[in-house]
Structure 1
């Protein structure tokens, strides 16, 4: 199986931030999206950005911008589908997705997803976090997705399915588990308070 392509999911409406693109908010004088691109680019050969609306606002990043093919912002699965269709055009067999508002995700998350899905006929896996008590949370915007399932996903969305884990469970997706120690590596910026916390975290890491 060839290396997956990377797709950054930036199609959300950012209601809790007052609208707009969360990925364009500044974190250490750089947009959060730039942090995400830098982390992902070391793990994949090519990256596309899933975003809706005017693509020119992302022109400075030099990435292909792919919009949802499903109307009315049905959620991250629509972005996954857009990424799978793009990857199919590139002749790729799979994609990995990362959220545009999550600047600290693991630098080995792609290799961990690939490792945990080894041996699957159609490799499908989600990242998950686990605390010191063993409790797990799946991270539905961070996954490995096979292009071969794109039409299955398209049909599921057409039938009204919106929950990521409902669809991945149907296909026996596996989990790549990452521990939360000093911080949650999949911490994402949803509110102004989160952005302030992200700035503190970044200072602590530097």
Structure 2
């Protein structure tokens, strides 16, 4: 294992708990891409150095168990990705949680290494050169109480919580193509590798 992993263990959290509205209700993480579910590609790309893989999901937990430990939202009514992040922070065995969405089969393979470099910020997230990619983030698990309080106040914005926590963006503009996700059925036919 690389020295960074030995020095700072982390949990990988794959967000697959959405309702898939733009995918006609289909579970995005289980959609076929190049003969395998999207989540399988993400696990291949990012799980090798993680100490555990967690999957935020609200359905199909039996299928997701093949890729990691399923974690349902602890809050009702699908309140968005922050609910999945909260479940991951609560369920993680490690002090750091690397968060990624389930709908991008080709994320940057050095995501953890770049996000984990020395910083004064508690949360670090990717910036692709044009927009913030807030669902590609390294978050300390000890921020679970802060996130829970934020959600209890009715707040749902990932970016809003990150701003409250003084999160720092990390430049990934050299890998901008690695942040293309699949939001519609027609996207499954394209390649972003």
Q: Deviations over 1:114-161 (max 9, x none)?
A: 01xx243x621111101xxxxx31112110111111011001101111
What TM-score comes out, normalization by structure 1 length?
Answer: 0.85
Partner of 1:76: 81
Q: 1:194 aligns with which of 166, 184, 187?
A: 187
Partner of 2:149: 155
In structure 1, what is the Cα distance between the partners aligned to 2:112 and 2:141?
16
Q: Deviations over 1:60-114 (max 9, x none)?
A: 33x2100111111111111111000011xx2x21101111111111000111110
Contact 1:123/1:145, CA 8 A, preserved across alignment: yes
Q: 1:6 aligns with which of 6, 12, 20?
A: 12
Which residues in structure 2 correspond to 1:27-106 (within 5 Å)? 27-61=33-67, 63-87=68-92, 90=93, 92-106=94-108
1:18 maps to 2:24: yes
Deviating runs (4+, > 6 A) in structure 1? Answer: none
Give the length in aligned residue pairs: 187
Unpaired segments ≥5 residues, structure 2? 1-6
Q: Which has the larger radius of gyration?
A: 1
Which residues in structure 2 correspond to 1:138-153 (within 5 Å)? 138-153=132-147
Partner of 1:133: none
Shift of 1:44: 1.6
C-alpha distance 155-179 of structure 1, shift in aligned 2 (>3 A): same
Partner of 1:129: 128
Unpaired segments ≥5 residues, structure 1? 131-135
Contact 1:43/1:108, CA 8 A, preserved across alignment: no
Shift of 1:162: 0.5
In structure 2, what is the Cα distance between the partners aligned to 1:180 and 1:2?
25
